[in-house]
Every structure is written in C-alpha cells, then in structure tokens.
Amino acid sequence: MSGKDDNGALEARGKGAMDARGQGAADPPGENRPPGPAVYALTVQGAALAKKIALALGGTLCLPRRLAGEPRSSPGGPARVEAVPFDRLGDCLKKNFRNHSGHALVAATGLVVRLVAPLLRDKKTDPAVVALGHDGRHVVSLLSGHLGGADRLARQVALVTGGTAVVNTATDLEGVPSLEVLAGDLGLKAPDLRPLAAVSRMLAEGRPVGVHDPGGWLAETAGAYPHLLRPLADPPEPDAPAVSVHWLAPDNPAADKVLRLYPPVLAVGVGCHRDCPQGELEELVKKTLAEAGLSFHAIGLLATADIRAGRDLAPAGLAGKLGVPLAAYGPAELNSVETPTPSEVVFQRIGASSVCEASARLAARMGPLLAKKKKSARATCAAALVAC
C-alpha cells in the first residue's frame, strides 16, 4: 500500500477539497518563495551569462546598479529580463538568502564562500548555492547539495551554459542513491536526519543497508540497487543503521539509528466548535496520533464536515500550517460511513452522527481506522490509513 498518486502525493478527496495550504490559511515557511533561483553577477561578461541563466530557469536576476539598466531582450528571442539592482553583493545575497530556494553566483568561488558563510544555519533549511565563472565551463555545487538541491541546480545551470556540473558529494561520486533527495522527490518526510550520515556512509562504501518499506515507496530504487538496498520483512531494530518507510512513530527517537522516512498516508479527521482555537486542535491531533503509535509526520491530509471547512476556522488553519489538503464532506456523505462511536448530539447539531471518524475514513478511501475518536474541550480527532 503506497497511498500515492502518479506524482507521489495523496489526492485530496471529497466535495470542496482545498489546496495544500488550506485555502487561504497562512502559508508554511518558504511557501511564497519565487519558483526559480536568484542569479547574480558582478561583471559585464558575467551579467550576460547570468541573464541567460535567469531566463532559462525562470529565476530572478540581480546585478550591480551600474549594470542593471533597462530590461533587455535575450539574444535568442524576444523574452526580456529585468534585473534587480544592488549596491553591494553581500547585502543583496543576505536579503535574498531565505527568500529563494537556490542561488547561482557568477563570481569567484572564494568570494561566494566568504559571503555565504555568515548566513548558514543548518543543512535542513539552508538553500542551494552554486558558483561559476563567466565562461560557464564549471558550475560548482557549494552548499546544500542534496537537501537544498544544489547538485540539481548545478546540473540545470550547466545545461544552460554548456558547461560541466562539479558535484562531489560521496553518494554521487560512487553512483549510489541519495536517500534524502529521493525522499524529497517522493514526498516522504525525514524530520530526524541524524542517522543519515551513517546510512549514506554505508552506501558510499558499498555496504548493504536494510530497508523496511511495506508501502513500496522505494521499490523502484531498491530494484535498481539490489546489492545496496536489502528489503526487510520486519521493522529494523533501532540500534543499527537502516531505513524505514512507515507511518508508525519510533518508541525511542533519541536513541534511534534508523533513518525514518514518513509517507503521507494518514488521513486525519477532525471536528470542532466554530470557536475552537487552532492550537487546541493541533494538540489534540498530536495526542491522538501519539496514543495510537502513529507519526505526526505521516499526515497526508485533514478532513472535516463542510460546515467546519471555512478558511477562518481551525481545520483550514491547521491544514495550512501542515501544508496538506483539507477535504470537506456533507452530512449525506458522512452518514454513509459506519463508525464505532456515533453521536446523537452531533447528529442533532449538523445532521451527521460522526465527523472525525467518518471524514477520516472517507478521506482515506475507506481505509482502516487506526485511531478512534479522541476529544478535547472543543474538538474531536480520529485517523485512518489511506487505502491503495
């Protein structure tokens, strides 16, 4: 059971299903980033190449004020590129750093290193950074090669310039899979990357790693590297490096040596009063999943009654915070599902005897209920596993 569509992500189900931001709710961090990289240059020659890259990749062109000038047509056609002027490259880079997923600098590598160094936080959040000369022959992946996508960006830029991407991460050099990149491409969450170094080292050294993946999310990659990724029938022991792709939470995360990747296969149904705070609903969701041994990171979508799906109510706000769709169902749909804990009180209020359990199962394509209804003062919650 993979619970994924052709794009590796859950499809929202139900009438009035919202987009991944909960339709009008606050955007998750990074959601409003421009789609392409920021591209910088310092010289006339570099500016010409930077314009070409920005145009090809849909990026934002940043040039010294003396070179920015008016928008100019690209040599290859009518498209025009407008440059954002700057007075100091370091100031411009600092301002843009967290607002773009990637940065390509047509500048000396040493200069780029010095400018970027004070801006770094950690490998999970730092954006991609690549550097290249104005001849475009070598595009160096400098920062966040895997997680941030710098290796990929370097290859994209090299295709534009006709040069060569310079990538020296260990797994790339050995021609073995990068699990963090693969996880991102498949929509799997990896909240704890501490075990990644040991797992990647084993792969780079040609040593096999056990993979427990009952949903088959990594099946294609495992099939391409059978000598490195060995299928495990049972969950791995937490005291040795391995990979797990599952919706269950580990018993002792602090001592865990398993790289745990979470697929978006939990449909969480919620019900609430109109005045329920988003924080109360979120805490109830966490408690409900924790008590059932389920991971909060495996949530693929939220679901509720249509009268509680307004953009100003808690379910939409929480869906927006989590970056998952919100599916909404009317009374007839909710009443079509048999649930273990129906409520006459709820029926009298909204015309449906169950909201959280019924909406969870509907959103899960009638998959099994893994967490029965839990209550707080103003909310209810249940969770189901999305069926194939």
What pLDDT was estimated at residue 256?
A: 85
When pLDDT is averaged across residues 313-320 and rounded to a whole number, the result is 96
| CB-based contacts of 272, cutoff 8 Å, min separation 6 | 281, 304, 308, 313, 314, 315, 378, 379, 380
- Going 43 to 141 to 53 to 124, the CA torsion angle's sign is negative
CA-closest candidate to residue 157, choices 41, 244, 17? 41
Give the mean pLDDT of the chain.
86
What does the domain layout of the chain look like in residue ranges?
A: 38-100+102-148, 192-241+250-261
- 131 or 71, greater pLDDT: 131
| CB-based contacts of 356, cutoff 8 Å, min separation 6 | 269, 270, 271, 304, 373, 380, 381, 382
When pLDDT is averaged across residues 146-152 and rounded to a whole number, the result is 79
> How far is it, in rounded angstroms, from Cα 316 to Cα 160?
41
When pLDDT is averaged across residues 207-228 and rounded to a whole number, the result is 91
CATH architecture of 38-100+102-148: 3-Layer(aba) Sandwich (3.40)
When pLDDT is averaged across residues 231-260 and rounded to a whole number, the result is 90
| CB-based contacts of 198, cutoff 8 Å, min separation 6 | 241, 257
What pLDDT was estimated at residue 355?
A: 96
> How far is it, in rounded angstroms, from Cα 199 to Cα 163?
32
What 3 state SS string does the chain have? Answer: CCCCCCCCCCCCCCCCCCCCCCCCCCCCCCCCCCCCCEEEECCHHHHHHHHHHHHHHCCEEEEEHHHHCCCEECCCCCCEECEEEECCHHHHHHHHHHHCCEEEEECCHHHHHHHHHHHCCCCCCCCEEEEECCCCCEEEEEECCCCCCHHHHHHHHHHHHCCEEECCCHHHHHCCCCHHHHHHHHCCECCCCCCHHHHHHHHHCCCCEEEECCCCCCHHHHHHCCCCEEECCCCCCCCCCEEEECCECCCCHHHCCEEEEECCCEEEEEEECCCCCHHHHHHHHHHHHHHCCECHHHEEEEEEEHHHCCCCCHHHHHHHHHCCCEEEECHHHHHCCCCCCCCHHHHHHHCCCCCHHHHHHHHCCCCCEEEEEEECCCEEEEEEECCC
* Residue 233 confidence class, pLDDT cut points 50, 70, 90: very high
pLDDT, tens digit (0-9, with 9 covering 90-100), for 69-126 = 754 444 555 456 789 999 999 999 999 999 998 999 999 999 999 999 999 988 778 8
Please give the share of the chain, as a percent, with pLDDT higher than 90: 64
